[in-house]
Chain A
């Protein structure tokens, strides 16, 4: 192991250093790709299924926009819909939810809605306008109830079975067939 730095050892040394650097770069690229891949997989899901699926439903209690105290208790299959009068898709969806409530209440299905981050007068006005005054709407002025249900936006809808376990979750507007299918499955 003797000789000057410019001797025959020079090439292996450079080779080794180069190999080392190349390996670091390759590993960083692999790590980056792995990260990007993960990110892409997350995005491709669009919306991850709620962490609440299969879990006990969170508490749902407060004052309704009609001014009455309300506390939800398990016992019946329940559709929980989160909406606000300022949300366009909700304005399209609420009449459907109200119709569904009318049609299914006699079959032992309950519909409870959470009116989140909304002016109480605007909400009342809107329900009156679409003929849905009867809809049970718990007022959630600061969005805390929505957060406790893991909501990311409005509208969102959950179906909770009679034992109080969250069984279905939908981000965005629901249609009549989704509601009927999901509720029939657990009713």
Chain B
């Protein structure tokens, strides 16, 4: 072993000794960032923006009410601002929306109910890995003793296993728990919509949407093939929802790269030249030319 190798191995040993502390520091910072609220007192606009950013735009895919330009998101921002101006807290405003749109309206996982797992699990996993590493280190002989290089491979293996378990627990458990429970944290409904003593919702009274609305939802969720299947029968017969069916069908075909898309959209324009979406469709097929 040459002098350089020896120097490198000492440096390596020193680094190995330091990294748990570095990892611990990172975990601590993450924990603090997650748990501590920001300082200062934000303006009404900032608070409204913050609340809107925590709510999903119900008519969009993966867009917050703060980012979306949809009319619905705009109305949500108006209401958020009005409620904050009336002195409601951010959490109460969010609870107000949750009582009306369900838990899915909230974008960030709640720091209550089972949602807290999503916040706590990642830093906890980091700490667990560091703790595991320290335990393993204590058990093996010091780095400069003979046998150290043989012990470290074992450490790497254990570390990998510990990391696997920690990452697995951090990712899978909250996902399954939150995903499985769905409405687990709906206890915070505001007073004005508190459930009366009557029975709870009867699922059979919740009519499902008509095929075209469903097709539209599927199209917006990136499932054009399924949207096409649903929209086609409606688009092929006369009826009140035919314009939308034709439009959804054409857009679904377009999303799938089908040449028939253009024909369908032209049929839509021909039959419904004054439809609110006509101008956009004209632009769309004009651009594809």
| B196 and A163 form a contact (CB under 8 A) | yes
Stretch of B13-21, B29-37, B161-169, B251-259 at the chain-chain interface? B161-169
| B208 and A46 form a contact (CB under 8 A) | yes
Tell whether A19 pairs with B175 under 8 Å between CB atoms, given A152-B58, A152-B72. Answer: no
Contact with B along A129-143 (1 / 0, CB 8 A): 000000000000011
C-alpha spacing A146/B70, complex, angstroms: 14
A side interface size, CB within 8 A: 74
Which residues of B sit under 8 angstroms from A30, Cβ to Cβ?
172
What interface size band does chain B fall in? Answer: 35 or more
B179 CB within 8 Å of chain A: yes
C-alpha spacing A168/B276, complex, angstroms: 29
| B168 and A27 form a contact (CB under 8 A) | yes
Query: Quick one: which of A10, A42, A89, A143 contacts B74, CB cutoff 8 A?
Result: A143
Which residues of B sit under 8 angstroms from A122, Cβ to Cβ?
none
Which residues of A sit under 8 angstroms from B167, Cβ to Cβ?
24, 27-28
C-alpha spacing A21/B276, complex, angstroms: 53
Which residues of A sit under 8 angstroms from B104, Cβ to Cβ?
42, 48
C-alpha spacing A56/B195, complex, angstroms: 6
Most B-side CB within 10 Å, residue of A20, A37, A48, A58: A20
Which secondary structure characterizes the binding site on chain A? mixed
B217 CB within 8 Å of chain A: yes
Chain A residues 137-187 with CB under 8 Å of chain B are 142-144, 146-153, 159, 163, 165, 167-173, 178, 182, 185
Q: How many A-B residue pairs have CB under 8 A?
A: 209
Contact with A along B153-176 (1 / 0, CB 8 A): 110111111011001100110011
- By beta carbon, the residue of chain B nearest A30 is B172
Tell whether A172 pairs with B79 under 8 Å between CB atoms, given A31-B175, A88-B244. Answer: no
Would you give the shortest CB distance from B67 to chain A, in whole angstroms?
A: 17
A55 CB within 8 Å of chain B: yes
Would you give the shortest CB distance from B57 to chain A, in whole angstroms?
A: 9
B236 CB within 8 Å of chain A: no
**Can you name 24 A-B pairs with beta carbons within 8 Å?**
A13-B154, A13-B157, A16-B153, A17-B156, A20-B157, A24-B164, A31-B171, A34-B175, A35-B179, A47-B213, A47-B217, A49-B203, A51-B102, A54-B201, A58-B193, A88-B244, A89-B241, A117-B71, A117-B75, A150-B101, A159-B205, A167-B205, A168-B207, A185-B205
